[in-house]
Chains A and B, each alone.
Chain A
Amino acid sequence: MSQALVPALLNLLFRAFVVLLLPPLIPGLITKIKAWMAGRSGPPVLQLYYDLAKLARKQAVFSRTTTWVFLAGPVGTVAALLVASLLIPLGHTAPLLAFEGDVILFAYLLGLGRFLTVLSALDTGSAFEGMGAAREVSFSALAEPALFFGFAALARATGSLSLTPMLQSHGMWTAGHLSGPLMLILAGWGIVFLAENSRIPVDDPNTHLELTMIHEVMVLDHSGRPLALILYGASLKLVVLGALLVDPLLPVLSKGWLNGLAFLGGITLLAVVVGLVESTTARFRMNKVPQFLVAGVLASAFAFLLLLV
């Protein structure tokens, strides 16, 4: 009894750490990498933790235009992401919840977060935020099929409709005929990852021109604790969607804690890669973004086609 209980408890603690404490580190890492690449020393890696602590103590300002929907955006996004994080496997550690069709629930929980964020942007009545909201829904209409083609390909390769077996099927790399499709899936999902997390080349989280922003312009009017939720939610999304990319690449290790470490290493590596991409590419013009996303759809659709032959 106790022999089964201790690893389960440790696993739970690990999950709580990854979901609740780790996320703000990732944007810090990306910023650090970008600063190093540019020859600057950059803000501390823990900067987002300081920001969150400060925002939690600050008072929030609510415009007279807004209603409760304004608060529902940040709150709903974080709640949806937390529930989605229950479904996703973290590396090859034991899953918390896995059932047939949880893939769809996962994707729709992300959709729920987007819906509420967009509404809370429109609640301010600001033209800038309306612009960001319109861009967000337009681009995600292309990101969604890319995500689902990838799921379809993985479902066909693994014969399962649940996230955990789909992502933990390490055998895909070793079986030669599956590594090609997997690479295409990861390429497609990589594009989805960059778009959904508003990273360069789709969106620039550090830009200072509101007219060119997507995600950042939607949250211009949030302050205090709601803003803290938004920042934490964005970093949690990096981890949750990052797990989609990292999991299939990790090797299966003999011990549970080694698998956990491997996942942490993978996420760190992903942050480094994102930092390198951001340092070496410029963002696209807004009308080029759909083409980039269509490339993602095509990559994962090709992965599915390859699995048919």
Chain B
Amino acid sequence: MSLYLLSLLLAAGSGIPGLFLRRRGAEVAAGLMTASALAGIGAALGVLAGGPVPSLRLPALALTSPSLLVLDAIAAWFLIPVLLLAACGAWYGVRYWEDAHGHPRWVRLVFGGLTAALILLVAAAHTWLFLLAWEAMAIGAFFLVSTEDRLPETRRAAWIYLVSTHTGTLCLIGAFALLAGVAGTWDLGALPRGFASSRLGTQTFLLFMVGFGLKAGVMPIHIWLPPAHAAAPSHVSALMSGVLIKMGILGMVRLIAWVPDPPLWWGALFLGLGGVSGILGVAFALGQHDLKRLLAYHSIENIGIILLGLGLGLIGKSTGQSALAALGFAGALLHVLNHSLFKGLLFLAGGSVVHATGTRNLERMGGLAKAMPWTSAAFLTGSWAICGLPPLNGFVSEWFIYLGAFRAMAGARWPWSVGVLAALALIGALALACFAKAYGTAFLGTPRTPAAAAAHEAPRMMLLPMAVLAGACVLIGVFPMVIASALDRAIAGLGQALPASSRLAHLPLVAVLALTLALLALGLARWAWAGRRSEPVPAELPTWDCGYAEALPRAQYTASSFADGLVTGARWALFPKVHEAQVQGPFPEPARFESHVPDLVLDRVLDPAFRLGSRGLALLHVFQTGQLPVYLLYVLLTLLFLLIWMVV
């Protein structure tokens, strides 16, 4: 426990020395965060290696229940990505968020506070502590999102986030109150059998799903996620997308752990939400030109994949198919870790691009692979992993979920999980399209603007965290057996006795195939490259392009045109907006074409609804005269009305 507490204190205090130091405050903060990460990851690995579960009990302080903090296997599993991303983000932020952007000290202080809240949250075993940490996390993230509050877009994003997160907290307070009523204690722990199927259990479950779902960004209630991730500084976006939204998943995982007998429809609901989030998340991502918004929609997609895994696991738990439960839960938990690694990597690499070009718009980039080779390689690694392509880590977790879906379907009990298979296949193909678009438009081809042509490689301090995350992606992808036993311990906490690795004895085979693939690729590349040197070649040749030598950079395929076929194909869900000028007459005026995909729920439903609502409420201004006697009259009338009502 002392290691864990040390980690908590170091993270919480990491920004404080920087307040008083004239120089090097950022390096000190990053150093403290690294120390915190080492301590915390050490504690977590101890638990995941089968060590004793440390816990903190304060009988005198904790009201009505003794346990305050318990670092069990699930907490340890979630703690690792939190600390890894916080440390990487802190080092990245040293050069990324310098004085030019404003408030660097404030950002470091709150970043440390947010990390501490996350560390506290994963191990919280007491309702009040959980809610306090939850709220601290929400407020910390709000401050970080609103860092650049001189931009109206950022202020809007921050407010939307604040409103959504508090709506979620409200639901959670209600749900926890209901739970405490049943359990009779503020301790978080196992619930009695039969509770889940009762009416009260259903209400609690739905409240929890809204509260945790809002945080996780599940599709119909994801509204805060894209604007907030786009507006926040990139290392904060990495932390938010990598671990903050996973706290919603942590909540759901805890809920699954507490309930011994979940009804079948819980699993079906998870699968439905997962399918919708996954497919629509990636479909909306396809329509985006803003690099960070695109990544944010991909977070929704990956939350969908995690929910699909949890749903399969829940179905396995309800129907007593322990192999299915193990595969579903293992896939979901591994995807939680994997997604934080590759999405953190993508946000950091994307941040370097934004830093170098001064824009988030993909259409204004191009050809960056030449100027920023290392950032380009990092972004490619992240794209490769997020598409679930072998031999990187995204494949391993999606593979578990696929296997679970196949297993559920092959058994006679649940044939409809074929929908999960089709959804995963579609998500995979669309994600591939989207990242081919993002990577291709930003890094390949020729620069589309002078700013992109003048881009420079990120400093080493920003490349190093990316290298760490990319290395972790490759490690888990090529040698998946290294995490097998830790994963088993984590899913054992979900009431699932069967270890997943017993179903996956062939994980080492994946390593062999991955290495074969790498060796083959190396050999072929050597052979193909050797052909180049056989005779002297003119050094500078343009792209042949069917004879259109010296084609303009503007003639390249853009991100919008690349995705146009798919976006048009899915227009029944995306409703893309196209602004197109009519070209008329023999000497037409210069015409513009523009298309974008606004968010379905926020921009098409909630925004108009709230606008209409506020217009309707404006009618009440008539009663607001501003004169005291009139208000006193209202009081009198109300009292009279109440009196009459009581008498009658």
Contacts and interface: CB of A to CB of B under 8 A. Distances in A.
Interface in B541-563: 541-546, 548, 551, 553, 555-557, 561-563
B451 interface: no
B406 interface: yes
A22 interface: no
Interface in B184-217: none
B584 interface: no
B410 A125 contact: no
Interface in B398-448: 398-399, 402-403, 406-407, 409-410, 415, 418, 421-422, 424-426, 428-430, 432-433, 435-437, 439-441, 444-446
B369 interface: yes
B506 A64 contact: no
Interface string A118-140: 11001111111111011101101
A148 B401 CA distance: 14
Interface string A7-32: 00000000000000000000000000
Nearest to B570: A141
B422 A148 contact: yes
Chain A: interface residue count, which band? 35 or more
B407 A161 contact: yes
Interface string B342-377: 000000000000000000000000110110010010
A46 to B, nearest CB: 22
Given A131-B557, A141-B566, A226-B528, A83 B516 contact: yes
Interface stretch (A37-45, A54-62, A172-180, A255-263): A54-62
A215 to B, nearest CB: 15
A243 B274 CA distance: 34
A87 to B, nearest CB: 8
A138 B435 CA distance: 13
A254 interface: no
Nearest to A153: B418
Chain B: interface residue count, which band? 35 or more
Contacts of B406: 101, 103, 152, 155, 161
Could you tell me the dominant secondary structure of chain A's interface residues?
Answer: helix
Contacts of B421: 148-149, 151-152
Given A59-B531, A130-B556, A119 B545 contact: no
Given A65-B542, A69-B369, A115 B564 contact: no
Given A59-B535, A67-B444, A144-B426, A108 B389 contact: yes
Could you tell me the dominant secondary structure of chain B's interface residues?
Answer: helix
A59 B415 CA distance: 54
Interface string A208-236: 00100000000011001110010000000
A140 B399 CA distance: 20
Nearest to A141: B429
A263 B276 CA distance: 42
Interface stretch (B239-247, B248-256, B519-527): B519-527
B565 interface: yes
Interface of A: 56-67, 69, 71-72, 74-76, 78-80, 82-83, 86, 97, 99-101, 103-105, 107-109, 111-112, 114-115, 118-119, 122-131, 133-135, 137-138, 140-141, 143-145, 147-149, 151-152, 155-156, 159-161, 210, 220-221, 224-226, 229, 290, 301, 304, 308
Interface of B: 366-367, 369-370, 373, 376, 380, 384, 387-390, 395, 398-399, 402-403, 406-407, 409-410, 415, 418, 421-422, 424-426, 428-430, 432-433, 435-437, 439-441, 444-446, 503-504, 506, 509-510, 513, 516-517, 520-521, 524-525, 527-532, 534-535, 537, 539-546, 548, 551, 553, 555-557, 561-566, 569
Give 8 closest A-B pairs by Cβ, nearest first. A130-B557, A122-B440, A125-B445, A137-B433, A225-B531, A148-B425, A79-B520, A138-B565
